[in-house]
Chains A and B, each alone.
Chain A
Amino acid sequence: MRVTVGILVAMLLAVAPAWAHHSFAAEFDATKCSDITGILTKVAYENPHSYVWVDVKDASGKAVSNTFQLSSPSNLKRGGATYGVLNGSVGKEVLVRGCASRNGEANRYAASFIKLPDGAIQRVGQDVEGIFGTKIWR
């Protein structure tokens, strides 16, 4: 039994994501991801994570705000998602790939990319689904 506990702990150490601020999988569900289209209403370019908010119209036509957690400004700006790129898209239509929060909070996601108004697909988070061709270590 002790050895089994040791092995489990060793596995945890081995697969802990080395270069994430913290574990994506602890907070979001990589099996519940979808494309969400709406109007980008606000950008918070801040640490440890940035956020964007997107209004999506529901069946009755009412705008419902969706919150997307992005990576940190350090990762975003080095990956081309500068403050100017994101903030410059406020008020325009975007498509966001988002994975749902595991705690049941509605309309809260982690985003992996944003399709910007000019059509560019911009990484803004981890490739938890492997959609960018990443070989994922789980």
Chain B
Amino acid sequence: MKAHIGMTVAALCALSIAIGAQEQDKKFVEARGSVKPVPLPPGGPAPRMSDGHVDLSGVWFSGPTGKANAWSVVPDAPLKEDPVPFRPEAAAKISSMSRTERELKSPGVTCQPVGTPGMWTINPYPHQIVMKPGLYVHLIESDNAWSVVHTDGRPHKKPEDLEPLYNGDQTAHWEGDTLVIDTISIDERTWINQSGWFHSDQAHVIERLRRPSKNYLEYQYTVEDPKVLTKPWTSTWRTYSLGSEDLTENFCTNNENVDQLEKLNQTERQK
């Protein structure tokens, strides 16, 4: 096993050295649209609603700039998170898929609703949160999806009333200044994130949102899923920053990627 890790680390080191050498030889192109990120200042304390709770309202972009960073020349560093404790059969199922097969099943390619927590984890575009006391409204650009959650800590629906939903059955409560959104009964067609992490009907997702200052929003999620994981897993906190743009329409209607990837998959299978 140690040998495997050693070989992997050696391969990654060799790859980085090779990429470094290539980049030294490269002539860079100055282009309109490239973003050199400038982080926003904290901006003062987070605003509060009439009931005293923190108001999370705003248009939020991933990262610290308050703007789109898809073409940032300094992309976000890979997140430092604990490995997901997959049950062996779940890990085997994910790793048995080729990259092309994984893409073909990915919500980003199928244009299926991303659901919970996909509205945060499978969404490269900005979010809008609209709040009033007792209510959280989450709007995203990706396929113009939305969710509305009561924040009064009400219980989930009775088991006999639950149905599988992409966003699941959601309820929320405050823990201090952190909004905790609790979701069950999530449609098994959704993924937890883009990597192929599928889930079972037992998935329970706990999301936490906090606004440490006016210009910043932080998001964390925990997944419990005894059929897929050996123990619960919690992400690191992800940073979002306050933008001043409106969301734009983004309906996923003209998707050519499926046909293209199917063609590639057939080619690869013939090899």
Interface, chain A (partner B; CB < 8 A): 2-23, 25-27, 44, 46-49, 51, 69, 71-75, 77-81, 101-105, 108, 113, 120-124, 126-127, 129-138
Q: Which residue of A lies closest to B238 (CB)?
A: A18
The docked-state distance in angstroms from the alpha carbon of A102 to that of B264 is 7
List 24 interface pairs A-B (beta carbons < 8 Å), by A numbering.
Answer: A4-B4, A6-B83, A9-B91, A10-B83, A12-B94, A12-B196, A13-B81, A13-B84, A23-B99, A23-B103, A27-B103, A49-B257, A69-B256, A75-B68, A78-B245, A79-B70, A80-B33, A120-B32, A121-B31, A124-B33, A127-B34, A130-B22, A135-B73, A136-B75
Q: How far is the CB of A18 from chain B (nearest CB, A)?
A: 6
- Which residues from chain A contact B34 at a C-beta distance below 8 Å? 123, 127, 132-134
Q: Contact: A132 with B75, CB < 8 Å?
A: no
Residue B215 at the A interface, CB < 8 A?
A: no
Q: Contact: B248 with A19, CB < 8 Å?
A: no
The docked-state distance in angstroms from the alpha carbon of A74 to that of B144 is 12
Q: Contact: A133 with B73, CB < 8 Å?
A: yes
Interface, chain B (partner A; CB < 8 A): 1, 4-5, 8, 15, 19, 22-23, 26-35, 62, 67-79, 81, 83-84, 86, 88, 91-92, 94-95, 99-100, 102-103, 106, 108-109, 111, 124-125, 141, 193-197, 245, 248, 250-257, 260-261, 263-264, 267
- Which residues from chain A contact B253 at a C-beta distance below 8 Å? 46-47
- Which residues from chain B contact A14 at a C-beta distance below 8 Å? 78-79, 81
Q: How far is the CB of B114 from chain A (nearest CB, A)?
A: 11
Among A46, A79, A130, point to the contact of B26 (Cβ < 8 A). Answer: A130
- Which residues from chain B contact A25 at a C-beta distance below 8 Å? 99
Sort A-B residue pairs by CB-CB distance and give the 7 closest, nearest first: A123-B33, A79-B33, A103-B264, A10-B83, A78-B68, A22-B108, A19-B124
The docked-state distance in angstroms from the alpha carbon of A54 to that of B124 is 28
* Contact flag A74-B125 (CB < 8 Å), given A2-B88, A5-B95, A132-B29: yes
Having A12-B95, A75-B70, one finds 9 other A-B pairs with CB under 8 Å, namely A2-B91, A9-B195, A18-B76, A20-B108, A78-B68, A123-B33, A124-B33, A127-B34, A137-B75
Q: How far is the CB of B250 from chain A (nearest CB, A)?
A: 5
Interface of B, secondary structure class, is loop
Q: Contact: A81 with B33, CB < 8 Å?
A: yes
The docked-state distance in angstroms from the alpha carbon of A8 to that of B1 is 12
Among A19, A74, A129, point to the contact of B76 (Cβ < 8 A). Answer: A19
The docked-state distance in angstroms from the alpha carbon of A62 to that of B270 is 34
- Which residues from chain A contact B67 at a C-beta distance below 8 Å? 78
* Contact flag A74-B250 (CB < 8 Å), given A21-B108, A79-B68, A121-B30: yes
* Contact flag A73-B77 (CB < 8 Å), given A80-B32, A123-B71: no
Q: Which residue of A lies closest to B261 (CB)?
A: A27
Q: How far is the CB of A102 from chain B (nearest CB, A)?
A: 6
Q: Contact: A122 with B83, CB < 8 Å?
A: no
- Which residues from chain A contact B99 at a C-beta distance below 8 Å? 23, 25-26
Question: Which has the most chain B C-beta neighbours within 10 Å: A6, A15, A105, A120?
Answer: A6
Q: Which residue of A lies closest to B80 (CB)?
A: A14
Q: How far is the CB of B79 from chain A (nearest CB, A)?
A: 7
Q: Which residue of B lies closest to A103 (CB)?
A: B264
* Contact flag A47-B88 (CB < 8 Å), given A27-B264, A105-B260, A132-B34: no
Q: Contact: B91 with A22, CB < 8 Å?
A: no
Q: Contact: B86 with A130, CB < 8 Å?
A: no
Q: How far is the CB of A27 from chain B (nearest CB, A)?
A: 6
Q: Contact: A48 with B31, CB < 8 Å?
A: no
Q: How far is the CB of A95 from chain B (nearest CB, A)?
A: 11
